Structure 1
C-alpha cells in the first residue's frame, strides 16, 4: 500500500514538474496584432505556440497571445507582413484648461479646496443648466420676455464652466468644481442688458445668500443706482468680481463699470506668457489679472475656446470660493485683501494691477495670517 502511495506521489510530482514550464510560458504571453500578406493562417499562430484571440473579417489580421519566441519566429515567416503590440487606448476624458494650473488652483484642489458649500452667482446671459458638465442649483431671470434663466447666448455658460465645471471625466474642469452655481440672467440672447436688470439681480443675490457675484460684462457709462446696489451688496458681505473690459490700452485708462467701482474687484486678462492681452482695458481700477486668452470652457451644447476679460474674471471668482470654503470665517473684505496681497506682481499696475492671481499663495497667505482676519 505504501509503495502504491509513494508511486502515486512520484507520478504527481513528475506531472507538476512537467506542466510548470507551460504555465510559466502562458504567463509570459503578451497580446499582439499579427498582419498577414493576403490570407490569414491561424494554424501558423498555433504552430508557434500562440493563441488566437480574434480573427478580423475585413482585414487580414488576427489578435493573438504570443511568447517572445513566437514573435521572433513569426516575424521571419514569409506569410506574415508585420507584428505589433496590442497597445492600450484610454479615454481622453476631461481637460484641465491651461489657466487652472497657471494660477495654481490645482494645487489648492489637492489640498481639499473645491469650493464646496460656496454660493456663486454668475450674473450674465444665463447658464445652460442642461449641460452635463455643470451643476446649476438655482437662479432667476430679469430679462424682459424670458421665463427661464437658461442661456441663449453662450457667454454665461462659458463663464460658469471656468468657475465650476464638474470634475467628472468629461470636457473641462473648473477652478472650484464643487461650488454651488446660481444663474442670474441679466443679458438677453444677443448679450445685451440694462442696469435696471443688473440691480434686480443684485437684490436677488442679497436675498438668496449668495457669497460671490461674477459680472463678466461692462459699460463705459456709470450709474448712481447701480453703485448704490453694489455698495449694499458689499455691506451685506458679498464679494463682487468683474471684467475690466475689452477696449484695449488707453493713456487715460478705460476700465468699464461695474469693475470701476470701489467695492468691485476689476480683473484684466493675460496670456500663457503672463503678457497683458492687447484687448484688456487698463487703469488704476485694475486689481488683478488672470488667464483670458485661448481659454477652453463649457458652452451651449458643448465647449468652446474664447478670449476676453470676461474669461479672466471667473478665475478670480473661483479662487475666492476656494478660500471661502477652506476659511469659512473670512469676510468678503478679508478675501479681497488676501487675493490682492498674494498676487504675483507682473509690472505696470495700470495694466496688471497687483498682479496675477495665485491660488496657492492666497491660501498660504490666509493660513499665515489667521489672527489678522479674525
Structure 2
C-alpha cells in the first residue's frame, strides 16, 4: 500500500494502491524479498535491553529502530513467519506492516490573513512573522541552498540515507524530488516570495526518497526525531487513501500532540467522494487540512450553438487563455505525436494515460495546438500539474465530460469559446472528505488554499496544487499563533483556528457539509485575536443505537475566556429538526482567564429520524463573536467503503504472493475474485475468508493458488451485514517458472 504526498505533481495524485482500471498492478518476476520490515507496538514502554531480551527467542529477527517518543515500540526485519510469531507475546499490542509512502502563495497568503496579521505584535513586541518558532517538515527533503529558504534552514535529518543531510533527491540519485522544498516555501519562504511565517525556522526531515517514496518506519523515525528536537509545529503533506484512525502514523501524531507539538496533516487528494480522507489526516488530535481555492479566474468551455457550459480545471504550469475568439476542438487520441497531425491552431481533446500530462501537452504545443483538454480514463474528475511551464493552456475534465465532448465533435459541434469567471473559497474537487470510519470524527478540521499555489522548488519557483499545499498554509498559521500565544497548548491552537474559520459554500445557500470542510477556511488574524476558545472544536456523538427507541448521547465542551474582560456565554438553539432534541447549557459568565466545562446533550428518536448521518454547526455567543462548533452523529451504520488500500506483492517463498488490505468495519466475508478482462468470465478466487475483524489484513497466498501468466481483472470485495463493497483493479502475473527460479 502506498502513502503519497498530497500534492498533485505529475502523477503524484494520491491514487492509493487499489489501482483504477487502465493502470494495472504489475507483479514482476523479480527476486522475492524473503525479509520484510514490520512495526511492533508495545502495550507498555520497554528499555533497549528488555526489547533485545524479548527478541532473543527469535534469532532470525533484526532489531532496527526503537520508538519511545512517537509511540512505544520498535521495528524489526525478518521473514514474515517469524514476525508473525511475535504477535503471540503477551506484551505486544499490535504488529503493523511497514507501508510504502510516497510524496501526497502571494495572493493566497493575503487571502487567509497572512498579511494583515503582520500588524499584530507578540509579547516581546515583535511583529508576527514566526520568529522564534521552529517548524518541522516531514517530506522529500529541502533545498536548503535556495535563496528564499537558506536563512530559515535550521538543520535536518535524512531518514532515508541515515545521515544529517536532508537535501532533496537529485537526478544522479534517482527520480528527483521538489515536494518538500515547495511545502517549506509556503510555510516560511523569505526572499522573492514570502511564506505565511517568513521568519520561522525550518527543520527538514527527509523521510521520502527518490520519486517521493518512503516507508512507515522512516516517517515514524522522523516523528520520533521531531519530538526529540522539540519542534513547535510539525507538517506532514503526505497520506494514503485508508480511512482509518488506527494506523501507526496517526497514532504517532496523536502522541506528538500530547508532547506539545502542533501536528498538521494533509487530508488527501481522493475527493470529491465522502469517506475519502486518508491517514495520517485521520489522526484525532492533528489538524487535518483540506484544499480550497484562492482567488482565481476559472475557465469555462462554451460549445457554440448549444447551451453547454463546462467548467475546466487548469493544470498548474500551463499558459494563459485567449478568450477573444472562437476556436476549433479536435480529437487527438492519447496525445502521441502521430495523433496530432491536425492540431495546428486548434484545441485538442486528449485521453489520460500511457504517458505524463507534460509529455502530451508538449507534443500538442510542438504540433501548433492552441490548448489541450485532457479527459480522465476512469470515472470522476482529476486535477494535476505540469513538470515544466508551457505557453499553451492545459486543463482537465472528467471521463464523462471528455466522452461528451468527443461525441459533440463527431456531431460537428466543434466550435468553442472560453469564458472566465472569478471564483474563490470553493472546495477543490480533489480534496478528500470525511468522516472518519469507526470514530465518526469530522475530518478535515479546516481548509486552506491548495490550488495553483506558487512556491519554491530546487532552482526556482513553480505552482503546484493539492492538499500538500493547503497543509503548510495552516502550519505557517500555527507558527504565528504560537508566537503570539506561547502558553497555548496544541489543542488550544487547533481550537483557535477552527473556532474562527470561515464556513465556505458551493453557491448561495449551499454550504459544504462539515465533513467536507470541517470548520471552514482558516482566518489567521481572527485566530490570533480569539477572545474565547471552545475545546474540542468539533463534536462527534458517535453512532446511536439501532433499537428503534429514543437514544441519547452527550459531549463535554470546555469554554475558555482568553480576553481581558468578563464575558457572558449562551448557545443559540439549533433550527428544529424532526426526531432531534438538544439539551444545551443555560447562559453563564466567565471572568478573564476563567474556563468552564459544560455538557451538550442530544436525544435522537430513530423512528422519526430520516437520515443516517446528521451534521451541522452549534453556535455559541460570547458577547462579541459567534463561535461555530461543527457536529456530526450517526443514526445507523452508514454506507462507507468496506475495503480500502489493496496491495499485492511477491511473498517470502518462491512462487507465493502476499496481499494487504484495510477493512474499516471488518467483514463477514472477504475475497479476491479474478475475471478475464476481455469477456469478464469468472476465473476463480485468489483468496476468500470469513469473519474478519476491522483493521489491516496481511496474508500470504500459496503458490498453488496463483493463476497462470497473464492479465486479470480482480474484484476485491467485502460483505458486512448484507452490504457489499468492492475495488476493481487489474493484476498482471508473470510466468510461474520466472517466479520459481528466484
Normalised TM-score (structure 2): 0.36
Question: After superposition, where does 1:138-177 map in structure 2 within 5 Å?
Answer: 138-144=155-161, 148-152=165-169, 153-166=177-190, 168=191, 170=192, 172-177=193-198
RMSD: 1.8
Q: Is it true that 1:264 corresponds to 2:286 in the alignment?
A: yes
Name the CA distance, whole Å, in 1 between partners of 2:286 and 2:455: 24
Deviation of 1:144 (Å): 4.0
- Contact conserved, 1:334 with 1:373, CA < 8 A, in 2? no
- Contact conserved, 2:247 with 2:279, CA < 8 A, in 1? no
- Structure 1 gap ranges (5+): 1-95
- Contact conserved, 2:293 with 2:425, CA < 8 A, in 1? yes
Alignment correspondent of 1:302: 460
Question: After superposition, where does 1:193-204 map in structure 2 within 5 Å?
Answer: 193-204=214-225
Residues 301/373 of structure 1: CA separation in 2 closer, same or farther (3 Å cut): farther
SS at structure 1 position matched to 2:526: helix
Name the CA distance, whole Å, in 1 between partners of 2:291 and 2:515: 12
Cα shift readout 1:237-264 (whole Å, capped 9, x = no counterpart): 111101111112114x110110111011
Name the CA distance, whole Å, in 1 between partners of 2:179 and 2:233: 18
Whose helix proportion is higher, 1 or 2? 1
Alignment correspondent of 2:140: 125
- Contact conserved, 1:269 with 1:292, CA < 8 A, in 2? yes
- Contact conserved, 2:160 with 2:209, CA < 8 A, in 1? yes
- Contact conserved, 2:157 with 2:163, CA < 8 A, in 1? no
Name the CA distance, whole Å, in 2 between partners of 1:263 and 1:196: 21
Residues 373/109 of structure 1: CA separation in 2 closer, same or farther (3 Å cut): farther
Question: After superposition, where does 1:304-343 map in structure 2 within 5 Å?
Answer: 304-343=462-501
Aligned residues: 275
Alignment correspondent of 1:109: 118
In terms of mean alpha carbon deviation, does 187-196 or 287-296 score higher?
Answer: 187-196
Cα shift readout 1:336-356 (whole Å, capped 9, x = no counterpart): 111110100113212211000
Name the CA distance, whole Å, in 2 between partners of 1:372 and 1:244: 34
Name the CA distance, whole Å, in 2 between partners of 1:366 and 1:193: 42
Residues 366/207 of structure 1: CA separation in 2 closer, same or farther (3 Å cut): farther
- Contact conserved, 1:249 with 1:278, CA < 8 A, in 2? yes
Deviation of 1:164 (Å): 0.3
Question: After superposition, where does 1:248-263 map in structure 2 within 5 Å?
Answer: 248-251=271-274, 253-263=275-285
- Contact conserved, 2:496 with 2:530, CA < 8 A, in 1? yes
- Contact conserved, 1:164 with 1:173, CA < 8 A, in 2? yes
Name the CA distance, whole Å, in 1 between partners of 2:233 and 2:162: 27
Pairing partner for 1:207 from 219, 228, 231: 228
Name the CA distance, whole Å, in 1 between partners of 2:188 and 2:595: 26
Name the CA distance, whole Å, in 2 between partners of 1:211 and 1:246: 26
Name the CA distance, whole Å, in 1 between partners of 2:451 and 2:460: 19
SS at structure 1 position matched to 2:249: helix
Deviation of 1:210 (Å): 0.6
Deviation of 1:363 (Å): 1.2
Alignment correspondent of 1:21: none
Deviation of 1:224 (Å): 4.0
Deviation of 1:219 (Å): 1.4
Normalised TM-score (structure 1): 0.70
Question: After superposition, where does 1:22-41 map in structure 2 within 5 Å?
Answer: none
- Contact conserved, 2:254 with 2:283, CA < 8 A, in 1? no
Deviation of 1:220 (Å): 2.3
Cα shift readout 1:166-210 (whole Å, capped 9, x = no counterpart): 1x4x2x100000001110111112011111111100110111111
In terms of mean alpha carbon deviation, does 232-241 or 154-163 score higher?
Answer: 232-241
Name the CA distance, whole Å, in 2 between partners of 1:133 and 1:178: 11
Cα shift readout 1:251-294 (whole Å, capped 9, x = no counterpart): 4x110110111011110111121011111111131100000111
Deviation of 1:138 (Å): 1.0
Residues 209/297 of structure 1: CA separation in 2 closer, same or farther (3 Å cut): same
Deviation of 1:227 (Å): 3.5
Cα shift readout 1:4-50 (whole Å, capped 9, x = no counterpart): xxxxxxxxxxxxxxxxxxxxxxxxxxxxxxxxxxxxxxxxxxxxxxx
Name the CA distance, whole Å, in 2 between partners of 1:373 and 1:295: 39
Deviation of 1:369 (Å): 2.1
Q: Which structure is larger by alpha-carbon Rg, 1 or 2?
A: 1
Q: Is it true that 1:184 corresponds to 2:205 in the alignment?
A: yes
Alignment correspondent of 1:282: 433
Alignment correspondent of 1:77: none
Pairing partner for 2:248 from 215, 225, 228: 225
SS at structure 2 position matched to 1:257: coil
Alignment correspondent of 2:660: none
Deviation of 1:359 (Å): 0.5
Q: Is it true that 1:354 corresponds to 2:531 in the alignment?
A: no
SS at structure 1 position matched to 2:454: strand
Name the CA distance, whole Å, in 1 between partners of 2:168 and 2:492: 33
Name the CA distance, whole Å, in 2 between partners of 1:156 and 1:329: 29
Name the CA distance, whole Å, in 1 between partners of 2:247 and 2:524: 33
Alignment correspondent of 1:58: none
Name the CA distance, whole Å, in 2 between partners of 1:224 and 1:277: 26
Cα shift readout 1:39-71 (whole Å, capped 9, x = no counterpart): xxxxxxxxxxxxxxxxxxxxxxxxxxxxxxxxx
- Contact conserved, 1:330 with 1:373, CA < 8 A, in 2? no
Name the CA distance, whole Å, in 2 between partners of 1:286 and 1:227: 14
Name the CA distance, whole Å, in 2 between partners of 1:159 and 1:225: 23
Residues 113/366 of structure 1: CA separation in 2 closer, same or farther (3 Å cut): farther
Residues 312/178 of structure 1: CA separation in 2 closer, same or farther (3 Å cut): same
